[in-house]
Amino acid sequence: MKSIIYTLAVISSMTFILPNSFGAVNMNEKLQEIVKFKKGSLSIDENSSAFVKVSFKINEKGLVEILEMNYSDEIIKTQLVDKLSEIKVEEDHNVGEIYNYNFTFKKI
């Protein structure tokens, strides 16, 4: 029997834009590039799921700064944080913009 892990990012991106904002960063594209897990790398039982809700912003250096997290599994949360720390925004961005994402991981 083959196991497949699906990662669903339910996007509820809320933004708070400050005056003199810079160009918009396409965070959805960046997340699709970075947040990928190899088969068997997530510790999820068959026919179960885990979630991570995260709020973050991109700081002056272009790195993810996590503001708040809620999660159902500590190990999966840590793996997601590791992936998010790989993101580097090179283009101009608004450091006041806050991104909110809900990730659901399912093994079916």
Residues 49-99: tens digit of each pLDDT:
899 999 999 999 999 999 999 999 999 999 999 999 999 998 888 888 999
- Could you report the per-residue pLDDT of 23-59, keeping only the tens digit for each? 567 888 889 888 888 877 788 888 888 999 999 999 9
Please report which helix (H) or strand (E) contains residue 100, including its range: strand 98-107
Q: Give alpha helix (H) positions in 1-108.
A: 27-34, 74-84
pTM of model > 0.75: no
Can you name the residues that pair with 104 across neighbouring β-strands?
8, 51
Instruction: Report, as an integer, the average pLDDT of 102-108.
Output: 86
